[in-house]
Every structure is written in C-alpha cells, then in structure tokens.
Amino acid sequence: MAYRLLLAAAALNGTVFGLLFIAVPDLAISLFGGRLDALSSLLVRQLGGVILGIAIFDWMLRMRDEHAVRRAVVAANVTAFAVVAVVAAYATVTGTINSLGWVVAVFHAVVAAGLAATYLTSASSTVPGQAMT
C-alpha cells in the first residue's frame, strides 16, 4: 500500500512540475527566486519533459507487483528523488534558491526514503518471483 501511495505522490509531483517546466519555465523557476536566460529556459523545458515522462512511468507501474518491476521502479525513483533532495537542500543552504527549496528537499527525501524502506521491507518478506504487496 505505501509503495503505491508513494508512487502516486511521485507521479502527481512529477506531473505538476513537468507541466509547469514545459509550459511556463520562467514562472516555475521564479517561484524559487530564480531567473532564466533563453538557453536555461529551453533546458528547463527539456527537464520538464523528462520529469513528466518519469511521472507517467510511476503512475502506470504503481499497481505492478512483480519483484523485478518493483526493484527497477524503486531504484530509478530513489536515485532521482535522492539527487533532487540533496541538490535542493544544497541550493537552499547556499542561497541559490529561496526557502521553498526546503519543501522540495524534504518531499523528495521522504519519497526516496519511503520507497527504499517499503522495498527493503517487502523484499525481505517475499521469495524472488513471488508478488509483493
């Protein structure tokens, strides 16, 4: 249950930020106190596409119970969410972005830790090839 809920939260977060980055990158970045030049705006739009793609991936795979599928989904998401958490925390501490960065850092750290914990708990209680709940 926690796995599915965390992936749904990740998908919602990715959909919101992905669409914002694609449609209105300047506005999205200004929420964090930043400004974009023309190149940065294009790169943020590309990043939005990647984020949206991962959100779709998470949404579509959240109900799958196969061990190998979960392992891949968790590995990809824990990596992405942990990196975002660390970078957002660093950017907030150094003053590169405003205090909204803490919201981003904490949300991403919670999802990364939660997915890792649900996977480790589920993996230790199942036999490979058996469905995890």
According to the 3-state scheme, what is the secondary structure of 51-94?
HHHHHHHHHHHCCCCCHHHHHHHHHHHHHHHHHHHHHHHHHHHC
Asked if the structure places residue 132 within a domain, the reply is: no
Dihedral (Cα; 83, 10, 20, 37), 10-degree rounding: 0
The range of the structural domain enclosing residue 98 comes to 2-124
Question: According to the model, what pLDDT value does residue 125 have?
Answer: 58
Cα–chain center distance at 121: 21
Q: Is residue 28 assigned to a domain?
A: yes
Residue 131, in any domain of the structure: no
- Per the model's pLDDT, the better-predicted residue between 5 and 1 turns out to be 5
pLDDT at 69: 87
- Two tokens, residue 110: 């919670």
Does any domain span residue 99? yes
**Element of type H or E holding 27:** helix 25-30
Q: What is the mean pLDDT of residues 55-76?
A: 90
> Does position 131 have pLDDT exceeding 60, yes or no?
no
Structure tokens at 15: 């959909």
How do residues 14-36 score in pLDDT, each as one tens digit? 999 999 999 999 999 999 999 99
Residue 104 pLDDT:
95
Q: What is the mean pLDDT of the chain?
A: 90
Query: For the residues 90-99, what does the mean pLDDT come to?
Result: 94
Per-residue confidence (pLDDT) for residue 132, from 0 to 100: 46
| DSSP code, position 128 | T
pLDDT digits 0-9 by tens, 110-126: 999 999 998 788 766 55
Decide if 115 is inside a domain: yes
Tell me how many domains the chain contains: 1
Which token pair is 52?
């949206």
Structure-model confidence comparison of residues 90 and 131, the more confident one: 90
* CB neighbour class for 102 (10 Å; exposed up to 12, middle 13-18, buried from 19): middle
- Asked if residue 75 is part of any domain, the answer here is yes
